[in-house]
Amino acid sequence: MKTVLKNKLMSIEKVTFDSPGKITIKLEDGRIIITPLKYFPEIQKLSVDRRKKYTIVDDRTILFSYSNSVYHLEDFIGLENNWKQR
């Protein structure tokens, strides 16, 4: 069964790595998503400085300057089966 975001107004405001081993995504509406980096090995292997070099595209997509992977907001909110395929 597919999980789809029904609120199309969800937008990424900021990405941080303040908690060890985790990525924190702050949404413009104030909600915060914290996800273990172990599910995103491409991000996990980036140095701390390289993780800070990212671009938010279309309010819902994260591109890291030193990674070829594309990450969508949906990837961080419980689609664990998709994480395992990376």
pTM for this prediction: 0.79
Residue 80 lies in a domain: yes
Q: Which residues contact 72 (CB under 8 A, 6 or more apart)?
A: 60, 61, 62
Residue 53 lies in a domain: yes
Domain count, the chain: 1
Q: What is the helix (H) or strand (E) element at residue 41, kind and residue range?
A: helix 41-44
Residue 37 lies in a domain: yes
Domain encompassing residue 43: 12-84
pLDDT tens for the chain, 86 residues long, are 344 455 457 899 999 999 999 999 999 999 999 999 998 999 999 999 999 999 999 998 999 999 999 998 888 987 555 544 54
pLDDT value at residue 74? 85
Residue 7 lies in a domain: no
Return the CATH number at 75.
Answer: 3.30.2020.40
Residue 6 lies in a domain: no
Residue 78 lies in a domain: yes
